[in-house]
């Protein structure tokens, strides 16, 4: 099981002290198979990777520029730069970035760049509430997968994160039947080996028990709750124990 912590715009050097409890938890629960990945802001990738050097916890980034080469892109960071400072994963296609104007085609270029850099990609897809209500969920997921992964033959570094936009930060998660249907549909879009599929959107210790029973969910992408060591550990415990 994957537990990916998306810290979003949160944290400074003092925040790294929050990791101590999670590090201790991961070391004392070695008999259970699970992987923790922290995706902090770019400013914390290097110090976080150093802090976690002697642990099995890995580090990722939250986004990257689409160009693999250096260039005149003020304020931007590309995938090779992220790899250089310790990132092993990168979240791409998150709904918050899509809402800022990221298109499926741009996300496709970012994924290709990240693969070239040797990063593993956590590729976010999901429908809005309006799309859900108008029964366009499958149509939206199909478009996001096909355009986002266009011309990418080797998908071994791709992890899919299904995040219904209407669930993020709202405290509302999809009903069991709807979630099973969405996960099954995502799997159906891959002819050969299925990618790992994570669920994201208001994951907490209270619903982790319910979510872990959904077939074919390989872990969770966790936002706000991952900023609290106790809440994050509670989610992991409820899922693996």
Is there a catalytic annotation at residue 146? no
CB 188 within 8 A of CB 150: no
CB 133 within 8 A of CB 163: no
| Dihedral sign (CA 233, 42, 88, 174) | positive
Is there a catalytic annotation at residue 176? no
What does the chain come to in residues?
Answer: 241
User: Which member of 58, 65, 94, 127 is catalytic?
Assistant: 94
| Dihedral sign (CA 111, 114, 120, 122) | negative
Beta bridge partners of 159: 122, 196
Closest CA to 3 of 17, 136, 29: 29
Neighbours of 107 (CB within 10 A): 26
Q: What positions carry a catalytic annotation?
A: 94, 163
């Amino acid at each position: 099981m994957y537990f990916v912590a998306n810290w979003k715009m949160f944290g400074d050097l003092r925040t790294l002290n929050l990791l101590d409890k999670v590090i201790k938890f991961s070391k004392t629960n070695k008999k259970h198979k699970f992987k923790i990945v922290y995706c902090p802001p770019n400013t914390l990738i290097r110090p976080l990777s150093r802090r976690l050097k002697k642990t099995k916890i890995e580090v990722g980034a939250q986004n990257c520029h689409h160009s693999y080469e250096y260039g005149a892109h003020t304020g931007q960071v590309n995938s090779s730069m992220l790899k250089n400072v310790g990132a092993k994963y990168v979240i791409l296609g998150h709904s918050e970035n899509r809402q800022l104007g990221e298109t499926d085609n741009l996300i496709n270029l970012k994924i290709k760049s990240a693969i070239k850099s040797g990063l593993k990609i956590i590729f976010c897809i999901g429908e809005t509430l309006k799309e859900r209500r108008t029964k366009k969920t499958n149509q939206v997921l199909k478009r996001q997968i096909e355009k986002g992964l266009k011309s990418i033959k080797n998908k071994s570094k791709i992890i899919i994160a299904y995040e219904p936009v209407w669930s993020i930060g709202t405290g509302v998660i999809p009903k069991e039947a709807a979630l099973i249907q969405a996960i099954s549909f995502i799997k159906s879009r891959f002819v050969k080996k299925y990618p790992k599929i994570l669920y994201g959107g208001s994951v907490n210790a209270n619903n982790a028990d319910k979510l872990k029973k959904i077939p074919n969910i390989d872990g969770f992408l966790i936002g706000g709750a991952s900023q609290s060591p106790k809440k994050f550990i509670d989610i992991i415990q409820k899922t693996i124990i």
